[in-house]
Structure 1
């Protein structure tokens, strides 16, 4: 039986059209997330019966916009195609044949599959015929997707579409690492320029003449300014009038003597070309003349590349350019554009702040997040849940390398760039040592071995003469803490235990690891913090499993019995059958306590440890999984005290990683498939299966955002978060 598929009715490349580009990006993102279990298929709309395009294989059908019988025949064919589970129509007025595109109506009447329509334009003041057509489309569709709240309000208030039928999903953008404007300019030969740009398929509604007319006074104050007008003339405009508008713009440039300051790139821009120029852009200009425009891929893309935007206040721009992301100018007003450009070009600090505002606002709009949102809508009507929702991203160490210098891994990041003044800590460098050792096991790559050696050297550097460890190291490579952290000690024992247990670790590194461990082991059984105990037990259990040792086994028992005592103490309190935990509060790294009991039970064959491991992880899973599926770690903004209410927000990657690692360990020890399934579901938190529906892992950098708040992500990508994601990803590598 063929895998289920979604059919997208849309224009599609190589046809030159904004909807075509949108649909290519959307289906590419959907396929990346869900193919092969759910495939994307295309019904490509051709502009007339004589247009032929060399379409890719995913185009299964071709619809000629002006042939009514073609709509009817294709509707019947779709109904006969069993693997098509849902139809998504990308709708724009003028894309379909007939009066205001009403040829789509008999098609919708005949289709028996669920239909979701994406409206790219919703007019505030439609004439009666257009309003009626839009209402009929909405009535026949199961769901309507729009890109902004304004569009949703219009549908509800003007077109009388039921609110529960409307879904807001933003226009997608490419997931791009925060750009360096200077490097991007250098790559394009634009060093030293203040780059202004506009892009898109040229037509009179763009209003570029007003931007050009604004430049003379801008150039006087900023002689290094350069305005790039990027993109070919819209093919429909080219058919109707050729290059009249472009030539008019060129004549205006000559008249104003701006030939050195305005450059035209007359071509259909590839995705990479578009990104390259936007990354080099200091200010993006959108002087559109259409106040009714309700979506804009060009403005969305500009935001994604950290471009402040000077724009006219159409509906879409008003939705996305508030809060310091842009400057509004009046329609057809060159003086306003001049004033805005001079203000922004003269204030580098303000421009930098607006760049950040634009970039971080747009993170929820990445195509990965948009694909997840579309899938949720589709799944409401077609029930096409794949077995493994969300593909596992390939393993990347790129952000680890970014955060690492010649000494070690730097603690914090300002967005994606390491903050060297935050210094280093052993907590991070020990855990990245663990991650590199795990990755080296499967790759045997020499570059990863060098990283492993560097982080092991950091551990050696951090060990005190008495065998304990310093945690914090300044950027000057001097120790700055004098308070010993049991958590740091426990985590280090965990990591050392893994290295000692692995046969693939080179001999000279294993000798150094054992030397550190031998020096530290006299302090192990003194641990009292339950998390520190748990970290240490996990490492000791790995040693015992690979090299059985009575002394190590005794240490496991001593430490595990402390956990048992805490667990039994909580059980002795009234309602102990409800609160099956080791303490009276769930805080951070909670799952590690249960993992320690699983590891201890395996190392010592102790049934009591296994019983407590199962009881505690089942209790914690019940608290952390909604409907036994949706993972929501304990929020750090309040935690969860016995008898109180659990906190949901300020969720941390470290807690999700602990859950993935512990549930994977539970599966390894018990062989019970439910733990494997839960580990997978917990990992999907990183990939958008969370209350924001947003990716926490950043595929563009290989880093991980620092947390999940109630309404937004923490957009810094520090060491702990990135390591946490990597450890979770490595934990499930061999089991999924």
Structure 2
């Protein structure tokens, strides 16, 4: 307990589950995301807003303060208590005018007047054209806050123009869960709706939802498309139910009966868990937002639907105007059932357009997933608050989930459409060899014998593609036909690298070694046919590992030969300012330096070590900027005396850099390399040019690259295996 008191803490003030409201859910999700981002250096605590003194809730332990919204003294006492807690470094307030007592929530001002901590206020609603009282309340909040945060650009405009706020105002999107992109059919089957076209709306029910217009709009639609089913999901808002009972729900149910739509509209009267929300969204073909409030600046239900990859038909409230473009859905008029009818018919009649809009919506919301939102908050917190510096990131747990999804009985499938394996893309030696390497690395440290089954699958694939003369062919079609027209050197080198590593793993199953050894030896027959620098590099790595398992003068001769070739390239192309093997930096660059490090380990030739360090330090100076790793972009690479390309950045280059940095630290005992290894690894976790997470912790997959404005949302084999190799390298380094 004392250790927890000594830890730095961030206090979130707002409603909190099990209280049933959108702010409570948001507070929990945001605070958890930030804690995951900062752990273990920072913990999150909660000051929970209670609805007057009558209501109490069975809160989690992280709730350490309770505030009665109707008692101004409760605010003051809470602030005094927070002031006595030195571990609390900042207070993040989730603001909704109706959440706090007093006129326009003015009791919050009393809290801020006493509080002696940095404060950040996130506005969930912002009313344009304020009267004097409202304007005064918001201006008072501004004078006592370090920064305001809004979730739409229009919110910042309103605060600047209508309220004359001069504080820093940051726009950070409403967070969304990481939901794998899937077409609706799978979830429809689970819910028993496989033959229906599903429209859905969810949220706490109240008259402001405007569901009646959607209901009326369906009358002509179901005549043409009787399979349409509209699901209205969610219980009545607790405050509304207390004051009015189920008046609005009864009104809607009567309207459904009067219009004869009982077979086309269903109500699910329940407060939804996140799992249930996602389930209904994934079953939906179209999501409908029918809010009657034109000034609604934030809608969690809207962005959740977009994040599930569903096209949205919405009334034009402020948040919807920013989020819904013509390639993500349609905006319709308020209280106009004919407008809804037209938009719904357009999307119901065209499945291709629905899917296209859904994909566009999904890509748009990748910036909004909770890890990315947490990073944005982290920047603000670091700017205004004295928080402990994270020396290294918290490493995600090793997750082979997506690797296994991409693998069938024949091997690893090359590409994926988001998370769904694209079997038509076939298989490659590149991917299967590296997947085998990842499994071998994990088995070496974890002794997880389930990895052996995967290794046997990938080994079987390598046996299938190896020709009698020793060549490893690369591409195999879905019909299991090898592309015999083209022998590519890099995949051959990678096969040797990964097989060599497999042979070096202690306690590897004997039957696996018996299969791998002849494949490796046979592949060495083509060693003198390798001419590309990277193919030689990969082969050298494999020879080093194989030599570790059983020292061989033949292997050492091969290593010296390959290292000499790389040395010649270095001497031919390097200058004082360009310390590199080639006149261009392209892909997997650090592997070239890594090969020279391994050549030194195998031969103790210090010239190899000198070249390894010079070239690697040059590469580091080129790819690390302002404490961030920025790999050379494949859209143009980087030629000597030219300009480097910054996009598209590839996971394979980041993984290579991580592994080479850890090796350099081990060989040279210079710890700045290890520090940079963690920095490079954070590229996967969002410390990159877009400030977006590239690794999908939910699936265990990795996005296929970082473009100038967005991530490539597909999670194919190369990207996923590359991430895993980088992650497993830390496990090995720490073992």
**TM-score for both structures, normalised by structure 1:** 0.96
Deviation, structure 1 residue 288: 0.8
**Secondary structure of the residue that 1:220 maps to in structure 2?**
helix
The equivalent of 1:309 in structure 2 is 312
Distance in structure 1 (CA, Å) of the matches to 2:647 and 2:713:
15
**Aligned residue in 2 for 1:518:** 521
Shift of 1:553: 0.9
- Identify the residue that residue 715 of structure 1 maps to in structure 2: 713
Q: Secondary structure at the match of 1:454?
A: helix
C-alpha change, 1:389 and 1:269, in structure 2 (3 Å) is farther
1:61-80 matches, cutoff 5 A: 61-80=65-84
Counterpart position of 1:269: 272
For 2:105 and 2:46, the matched residues in 1 are separated by 19
What is the CA-CA distance between 1:291 and the residue it aligns to?
0.5
Q: In the alignment, what sits opposite 1:149?
A: 153
Question: Which residue matches 2:139?
Answer: 135
Q: 1:34 touches 1:386 (CA, 8 Å); kept in 2?
A: no
Q: Could you tell me how far 1:441 is from its partner in structure 2?
A: 2.3
Decide whether the 8 Å contact of 1:379 with 1:385 is kept in 2: no
Mapping for residues 27-46 of structure 1, pairs under 5 Å: 27-46=31-50
- Aligned counterpart, 1:117: 121
CA distance in 2, matches of 1:625, 1:160: 41
Aligned equivalents of 1:153, 1:674: Cα separation in 2:
44
Write out per-residue CA displacement over residues 306-358 of structure 1, whole angstroms, 9 at most, x where no aligned residue.
22111100110111111411111110011111222222112111112122122
| Contact 2:8–2:388 (Cα < 8 Å) also in 1 | no
Does structure 1 retain, via aligned residues, the 8 Å contact 2:38–2:390? no
Counterparts of 1:515-554 in structure 2 under 5 Å?
A: 515-554=518-557
Does residue 474 of the first structure (1) align with residue 469 of the second (2)? no
Structure-to-structure mapping, 1:422-571, within 5 angstroms: 422-571=425-574
**In structure 1, what is the equivalent of residue 598 of structure 2?**
599
Partner of residue 582, structure 1 = 581
Secondary structure at the residue paired with 2:683? coil
Q: Residues of 1 paired with 2:583 and 2:446: CA distance? A: 43
Higher mean alpha-carbon deviation, 609-618 vs 89-98, is at: 609-618
Question: Contact (CA 8 Å) 1:486, 1:529: kept in 2 or not?
Answer: yes
The CA distance in 1 between the partners of 2:609 and 2:127, in whole Å, is 63
How does 1:657-668 map onto structure 2 within 5 Å?
657-668=655-666
Q: Is the 8 A contact 2:593 2:612 kept in 1?
A: yes
CA contact (8 A) 2:201 2:288 kept: yes
Structure-2 residue corresponding to 1:625: 624
Tell which deviates more after alignment, 545-554 or 29-38: 29-38
* From 96, 103, 124, the counterpart of 1:99: 103
Relative distance call for 1:556 and 1:323 in structure 2 (3 A) is: farther
Where structure 2 has 5 or more consecutive residues not aligned to the other structure, the ranges are none
1:194 to 176, 197, 201: 197
1:336 to 339, 350, 354: 339
Kept in 1, the 8 Å contact 2:392–2:678? The answer is no
- Post-superposition shift, 1:155? 2.2
In structure 2, C-alpha distance between the alignment counterparts of 1:734 and 1:498, rounded to whole Å: 13
Query: CA offsets, 1:239-295, max 9 Å, x none?
Result: 222221111112212221222322222221111111111111111111111011010
For the residues of structure 2 that align with 1:690 and 1:160, how far apart are their CA atoms?
A: 34
Structure 1 segments unaligned to the other structure (5+ residues): none
Q: Distance in 1 between matches of 2:690 and 2:28?
A: 25
CA distance in 1, matches of 2:512, 2:58: 57
Q: Is the contact made by 1:426 and 1:488 (CA closer than 8 Å) also made in structure 2?
A: yes
Return the alpha-carbon distance in structure 1 between the equivalents of residues 697 and 338 of structure 2: 42
Q: Look up the match of 1:289.
A: 292
In 2, the alpha carbon distance for the partners of 1:279 and 1:579 equals 52
SS in 2 for 1:714: coil
Indicate which of 375, 381, 388 corresponds to 1:372: 375
**How do residues 626-665 of structure 1 correspond to structure 2 at under 5 angstroms?**
626-627=625-626, 629-665=627-663
CA drift of 1:516 comes to 1.1
Q: Secondary structure at the match of 1:254?
A: helix
Mapped partners of 2:54, 2:662: distance in 1: 58
CA RMSD of superposed structures (Å): 1.6
- Deviations for 1:426-456, whole angstroms, at most 9, x for unmatched residues? 1111111111211222343443211111111
Q: For 2:124 and 2:24, how far apart are their aligned partners in 1?
A: 12
In structure 2, the residue corresponding to 1:579 is in which secondary structure? coil
2:406 maps to what in 1? Answer: 403
| Count of paired positions | 730
- Kindly indicate whether the alpha-carbon contact (under 8 Å) linking 1:63 and 1:71 is maintained by their aligned counterparts in 2: yes
The answer to whether the aligner puts 1:168 opposite 2:167 as a matched pair is no
1:479-506 Cα deviation digits (max 9, x unpaired):
2252322212211111111011112221
How much has 1:203 moved relative to structure 2?
1.0
Counterpart CA distance in 2 for 1:525 and 1:717 is 35
